[in-house]
Amino acid sequence: KDAEKHMLRVASVSKVYGGVKALQEVSLEVASGEILGLIGPNGSGKSTLLACISGTQSASSGSIRMDGAELAGLPAFAVAQSGIARNFQSIRLFANLSVLENVLVAVLANDRTATQASARHKAMTLLDRLAIAELAHRRSGDLAYGQQRRVEIARALALDPRFLLLDEPAAGMNEAETGDLLNILGQTMRETSIGLIIVDHDMPLIMRLCHRLVVLNRGSVLAVGAPQEIQNDETVREAYFGR
Ligand code: ADP
Ligand code: MG
């Protein structure tokens, strides 16, 4: 059991939607403090895998364990409570609430014993970490897209997660916003012991941020390795980079 401490371990997870085999016997693991990149062509099962881990979809078979405890089959709220937070591919903020209020909702949901002052302090600390403290009192729906995505990550971090799952956090961002996000995520991961699984199409971002990559293709793991190894892997280049 000690070997499973500080690990999120996915073992032989399959997911069938109707007749579609979205995931076939996928296994991977991520350790606390590790940044794992999950890449692969469109439709290869990346979002489905994150959904199965977070319990928003139930795996058809296989096991998902954190610190050796089984999570597969738990409802999404229970998985979140156990310490796995995620963003969504589309933004899910309360558009009419301020940035601070959006994060406060998450802080208070996570810790019902928090006082107004302590919750506010924590929310502001998170906004600071995401470099959006100056936006605290703006209406969330009025923010630029890249800023909204950062609020979303602040909300996920408000849950004090052990593991964080990010599905295309840089989607729709311009190069400058993507660079800022990369620096913020890198810094956050250095300052906490959160384990991160990140899906993104932005290869420079993935290559710079991640310690290790898992490549999915048609629902199966095609390759696992360091970013450099993956970049030079012939089968990956064929399946993914198309050359
Ligand atoms: P990716 O995130 O890598 O682009 P997805 O996980 O979204 O891939 O999709 C994997 C496969 O599962 C695709 O063939 C997709 O059409 C299918 N799929 C995903 N979600 C559903 C769903 N809710 N119902 C039916 N099929 C789905
Ligand atoms: Mg996806």
From ligand 1's centre to the CA of 49, what distance in Å? 9
* pLDDT tens-place string over residues 59-82: 999 999 999 999 999 999 999 999
Q: Which residue CA neighbors atom 5 of ligand 1 most closely?
A: 45
- pLDDT(89) > 80: no
Q: Is the CB of 19 under 6 A from ligand 1?
A: no
Q: Is the CB of 57 under 6 A from ligand 1?
A: no
Percentage of the chain modeled with pLDDT above 90: 84
Determine the Cα–Cα distance for residues 224 and 50; give it in Å rounded to an integer. Answer: 17
Domains delineated in the chain: 2-83+161-241 (3.40.50.300), 95-159 (no CATH)
pTM, entire model: 0.94
Return the ligand 1 atom nearest residue 45 CA.
6
* pLDDT tens-place string over residues 102-152: 999 999 988 989 999 999 999 999 999 999 999 999 999 999 988 999 999
Which residues, by Cβ under 5 Å, contact ligand 2, an ion? 46-47
Q: What is the ipTM of this complex?
A: 0.98
